[in-house]
Chains A and B, each alone.
Chain A
Amino acid sequence: DAKTTQPTSMDCAEGRAANLPCNHSTISGNEYVYWYRQIHSQGPQYIIHGLKNNETNEMASLIITEDRKSSTLILPHATLRDTAVYYCIAPSGNTGKLIFGQGTTLQVKP
């Protein structure tokens, strides 16, 4: 599993885009980058994942650098309900085991 590094915390104004960075310089060619979030004490919620190309779904966009050593999760119009801990994870392709770090605590403010 590739090690990932994220800032401990970030603030974002409601209605603005939230850009959450993640470094994964040791990622191997077949390892995906996944983003999950955890709101309060609920079970983690899948957001998005990608391998090489940028990805977009109804929740967010994922921008992966060409060398795949870093990525950015973009929440285009953050709401108060997006306040959560966001985890960037690059699990082993063989087992899918998720290694959770401390994540980034995103606080969306009115």
Chain B
Amino acid sequence: NAGVTQTPKFRILKIGQSMTLQCTQDMNHNYMYWYRQDPGMGLKLIYYSVGAGITDKGEVPNGYNVSRSTTEDFPLRLELAAPSQTSVYFCASSYEAGGYEQYFGPGTRLTVT
């Protein structure tokens, strides 16, 4: 198993540009999550999904969109990038919610200038 994979590893965007951060898991997990981590801070939940076709907002959803058309993939879309979205983005997945650990990807480091 590759686990949770994220692409790209690094990206520099100009203000106002858009991009999609890709996340794929091969563990047949139902739950998937997107977090962001600003320097020196803990992770904050952006969006999550409890299964294909079902998504919901986390703590900091503004400026982002997600979709979950398959069990494996959970892309995060940034529209009109802003400097405040400069962060490291982590995708995670788990089989179920209670009693199961989350597996994290290696992260995408995004800079918006």
Contacts of A72 in B (CB 8 A): none
Measured between beta carbons, the chain B residues less than 8 angstroms from A92 are 97
> What residues of chain B lie closer than 8 Å to A100, measured between beta carbons?
35, 42-44
**Residue contact B33 to A98, C-beta cutoff 8 Å:** yes
Per the CB 8 Å criterion, the residue count for chain B at the interface is 31
Q: Are B90 and A43 in contact (CB under 8 A)?
A: yes
Judging by beta carbons under 8 Å apart, are A49 and B107 in contact? no
The chain A residue sitting closest to B45, CB to CB, is A97
- Majority secondary structure of chain A interface residues (helix, strand, loop or mixed): loop
Asked if A43 contacts B33 (CB within 8 A), the reply is: no
The contact of A41 among B31, B94, B103, B107, by CB within 8 Å, is: B107
- Please state if B101 and A95 are interface contacts (CB–CB under 8 Å): no
* Residue A54 CB within 8 A of the other chain: no
* Chain A residues whose C-beta falls within 8 Å of the C-beta of B98 in the assembled complex: 30, 32, 93-94, 96
Complex A-B: 7 CB contacts under 8 Å: A43-B107, A91-B97, A96-B48, A96-B94, A97-B45, A99-B45, A102-B42
B88 sits at the interface (CB 8 A): yes
Please determine whether B102 and A96 come into contact, CB atoms closer than 8 angstroms: yes
Q: A44-B43, A87-B42, A102-B42 in contact; A97/B104 too (CB < 8 A)?
A: no
Q: How far is the CB of A104 from chain B (nearest CB, A)?
A: 11
- Least CB separation from B43: chain A residue: A100
Answer whether residue B61 sits at the interface, using C-beta atoms and an 8 A cutoff: no
Chain B, residues 58-95, CB within 8 Å of chain A (1/0): the string is 11000000000000000000000000000010101010
Q: Is the CB of B101 within 8 A of A44?
A: no
The interface bits of chain A over 2-42 (1 if a CB of B lies within 8 angstroms of the residue's CB, else 0) are 00000000000000000000000000001010101000011
A76 is an interface residue with CB less than 8 A from chain B: no
B99 close to A (CB within 8 Å): yes
Which A residues between 75 and 107 are near B, CB-CB below 8 angstroms? Answer: 87, 91-103
Q: Quick one: closest A residue to B100, CB to CB?
A: A96
A84 to chain B, nearest CB (A): 13
Q: Is A65 on the interface with B (CB-CB < 8 A)?
A: no
